[in-house]
Amino acid sequence: MSTRKLPDNLHPDTLAVRTAVEKSQYGENSEALYLTSSFVQPDAATAARRFANEEEGYIYSRFTNPTVTSMELRLAAMEGTEACIGTSSGMAAILLMCLGLLKSGDHVICSQSVFGSTIKLIGSEFAKFGVESTFVSQTDVAQWQAAVRPTTKLLFAETPTNPLTEVCDIGALARIAHAAGALLAVDNCFCSPALSQPVKLGADLIIHSGTKYLDGQGRVIAGAICGPKKLIDEKLLPIMRSAGMSLSPFNAWVVLKGLETLSIRMQAQSANALALASWLEAQPAVARVYYPGLTSHPQHALAMQQQTLNGQGCGGAVVSFDLKAADADGARKNAFHVIDSTCVCSITANLGDTKTTITHPSTTSHGRLSEAQRQAAGIGQGLIRLAVGLEHIDDLKADLARGLDSLT
């Protein structure tokens, strides 16, 4: 039997298709799906050693499974972290991280523009257990600095944000976190490792919703945390073992295969998004376009430094735009008209799919906020979010033009 082993220093594109558990039973070229809840032990003594963590070996899929391990190895290689732990969803990843890092009396600083469920989890659910939190402006570094307390343990950001695509300076937030003896976690859902590897900019932990670009075709719910091996092994894996927010082997396998095409999907979808954003800026019915790849974006320069694909700045594949209207009622009517005039785009709140999705944030993803909270966040009734897919750009323009043209 040869001892072929992947060489060091491979390019990210190679890692994305080649990194996985190396052993294969039958020589299968596509990684096997180990759809099993438990693993048979060769004898009682081996079982005892494995349960006591004295010997490596699979025991039970609540805490380890070879298909999940393959996904974890591949994602860690792509993020440039030592290790990764798969979870049942993106929210389960954030839950596991908070359970592992925080205790009563600790303090978290979080961007006020992160995913809505993240705000609820940290701001409401963990508050019940005495974890304190301060929510600050995504883009104002001084607010993050001013929020630091002696008890601050974690800074949490997401970039670019949903739906307004605000970009934060990861390096600056990492310096604030480390000076305070805290960790910086970045939700890298929108960029994916194809565009940004936040650990290279100083972040300590990366959160993923595998549901989005990592799967890439809207098939499964999945999540992961990437970071230092010691932290994952000692602080997170024991909680996974007792609390069970485990990633299903089937969902891990879907994400594992999705990762192989991540880079080329991000490239094609981002190119479509840039073309669509530029076109939207020129439409008379459109008041404003939010897209980091446009020079009109307030953090365009930072985004082009922080998000790159094949050595070039890349805005990603999410574009939002505001419609012109006399008042909030008119804005909502116009937005519903544009959304309902599409035939190609899917009217759904998911994102990261090869199918373009269109959504009205103020009545869907951000519908649970009060009108005052929405206004503070800049999410008006005329705002539409697109998560651009792989359809031909001309078909996407025509799909939106149908509604936009009839407004002017």
Ligand X SMILES: *Cc1c(COP(=O)(O)O)cnc(C)c1O
**Do β-strands 132-136 and 183-187 pair in parallel, antiparallel, or remain unpaired?**
unpaired
Residue 215 binds to ligand X (criterion: CB under 6 A): no
Yes or no: say if 379 and 290 are a contact pair by the CB < 8 Å rule: no
> Per CB under 6 A, which region of 2-10, 55-63, 208-216, 382-390 contacts ligand X?
208-216
Closest CB 221 distance from ligand X, rounded Å: 5
**Do β-strands 318-323 and 152-158 pair in parallel, antiparallel, or remain unpaired?**
unpaired
Locate the DSSP E strands across 298-404.
308-309, 312-313, 318-323, 346-347, 357-359, 383-387
> Per CB under 6 A, which region of 16-24, 37-45, 59-67, 207-215 contacts ligand X?
207-215
Closest CB 171 distance from ligand X, rounded Å: 20
Residue 283 binds to ligand X (criterion: CB under 6 A): no
- Choice between 255 and 304, CB closer to ligand X: 255
- Choice between 46 and 373, CB closer to ligand X: 373
Closest CB 404 distance from ligand X, rounded Å: 26
Closest CB 19 distance from ligand X, rounded Å: 22
Q: Which of residues 141-160 bind ligand X (CB under 6 A)?
A: 158
- Choice between 214 and 309, CB closer to ligand X: 214
> Per CB under 6 A, which region of 131-139, 206-214, 312-320, 372-380 contacts ligand X?
206-214
Q: Which of residues 67-126 bind ligand X (CB under 6 A)?
A: 89-91, 115
**CA distance readout (Å), 402 to 26, 285, 329:** 54, 12, 21
Residue 357 binds to ligand X (criterion: CB under 6 A): no
Q: Which of residues 287-346 bind ligand X (CB under 6 A)?
A: none
Closest CB 6 distance from ligand X, rounded Å: 29
Identify the residue among 102, 184, 189, 309 touching ligand X (CB under 6 A): 189
**CA distance readout (Å), 336 to 133, 193, 268, 372:** 36, 34, 28, 21
Residue 216 binds to ligand X (criterion: CB under 6 A): no
Closest CB 162 distance from ligand X, rounded Å: 6
CB-based contacts of 367, cutoff 8 Å, min separation 6: none
- Choice between 185 and 294, CB closer to ligand X: 185
Rounded to 5°, angle at Cα 347 from 342 and 351 = 120
- Choice between 252 and 323, CB closer to ligand X: 252
Instruction: Output the DSSP codes for 85-141.
Output: EEESSHHHHHHHHHHHH--TT-EEEEETTS-HHHHHIIIIIGGGGT-EEEEE-SS-H
CB-based contacts of 322, cutoff 8 Å, min separation 6: 286, 287, 288, 289, 290, 331, 380, 382, 383, 384
Helix or strand or coil: residue 361? helix
> Per CB under 6 A, which region of 16-24, 204-212, 225-233, 376-384 contacts ligand X?
204-212
Bridge partners, 209 (sequence order): 223
Identify the residue among 79, 187, 322, 399 touching ligand X (CB under 6 A): 187
Q: Count the site residues for ligand X by CB under 6 A.
A: 13
Closest CB 373 distance from ligand X, rounded Å: 18
Residue 64 binds to ligand X (criterion: CB under 6 A): no
Cα distance between residue 262 and residue 266, in whole Å: 6
Cα distance between residue 315 and residue 291, in whole Å: 7
Closest CB 91 distance from ligand X, rounded Å: 4
238: how many CB neighbours lie within 10 A of its CB?
Answer: 13
Backbone angles phi, psi at 315, to 5 degrees: -80, -10
Using CB atoms, what's the residue nearest to ligand X? Answer: 90
Yes or no: say if 71 and 255 are a contact pair by the CB < 8 Å rule: yes
Backbone angles phi, psi at 166, to 5 degrees: -75, 140
Identify the residue among 212, 265, 332, 366 touching ligand X (CB under 6 A): 212
Residue 50 binds to ligand X (criterion: CB under 6 A): no
Backbone angles phi, psi at 320, to 5 degrees: -120, 155
Closest CB 211 distance from ligand X, rounded Å: 4
Closest CB 292 distance from ligand X, rounded Å: 15
Residue 246 binds to ligand X (criterion: CB under 6 A): no
Tokens of 299: 């953090």
| Contact footprint for ligand X (CB under 6 A) | 89-91, 115, 158, 162, 187, 189, 209, 211-212, 221, 223
